[in-house]
Chain A
Amino acid sequence: QKEVEQDPGPLSVPEGAIVSLNCTYSNSAFQYFMWYRQYSRKGPELLMYTYSSGNKEDGRFTAQVDKSSKYISLFIRDSQPSDSATYLCAMYSNYQLIWGAGTKLIIKP
């Protein structure tokens, strides 16, 4: 079993919809939680970073962490075709980031 599980998708939604992307993890020692966005043939870029349980909002993006359930989410409001990408969750443990495999998101105009 992987330490971080993420549904690979693809997840296809119409433009303007609210998108929910999720990761589960098994190691309760994980402390820092990140979401990266990766466009095709590009490197990942940091979208959101959270430390504690609860919500963090940045524009159309909200990151949510539930440490008791070992579950993190990324919500995208008013989704745009430019949001079409692969979204990777990552968690920090022992000087390493442990990554989910990524969810491919497609926003249909």
Chain B
Amino acid sequence: NAGVTQTPKFQVLKTGQSMTLQCAQDMNHNSMYWYRQDPSMGLRLIYYSASEGTTDKGEVPNGYNVSRLNKREFSLRLESAAPSQTSVYFCASSEAVGGRQPQHFGDGTRLSIL
């Protein structure tokens, strides 16, 4: 009954370092999403994958790359971390893109860039 699993839960990086955030879902959902959540800004979409093999930019894609590895897994990569990327990152999944499809979230990765 795992739902959406994100790893790691916490990470501290130095400016310029790279890292990959991992996400996996076990609900056989077609669509997956990466958000960042910042105080007073709410959730902002970074990238999404409507189905296996496709990815599209969201509201704030700069500085990030994504890979839809298979139907279950969707990773987010920071190539050269910057302090402005300090945030809480959430992965979500849904049966399909669209307003009728609720999104299910993981518990987040808390990332600090020094």
Contact = CB atoms under 8 A, between A and B. Distances in A.
A6 B48 CA distance: 25
22 contacts: A6-B42, A8-B40, A32-B100, A43-B4, A43-B107, A43-B108, A44-B90, A45-B104, A46-B102, A88-B42, A90-B43, A92-B98, A95-B48, A95-B50, A96-B45, A96-B48, A96-B58, A97-B103, A101-B40, A101-B41, A101-B42, A102-B42
B61 interface: no
Contacts of B90: 43-44
Q: How big is the B interface, by class? A: 20 to 34
A99 B103 CA distance: 13
Interface of A: 4, 6, 8, 31-32, 34, 41-46, 49, 51, 88, 90, 92, 95-97, 99-102
The 7 closest A-B pairs by CB, nearest first: A32-B99, A92-B99, A43-B105, A101-B42, A99-B43, A99-B42, A46-B102
Given A42-B107, A43-B90, A44-B43, A95 B97 contact: yes
Interface of B: 4, 40-45, 48, 50, 56, 58-59, 90, 92, 97-100, 102-108
A90 to B, nearest CB: 8
Given A41-B107, A43-B107, A96 B43 contact: no
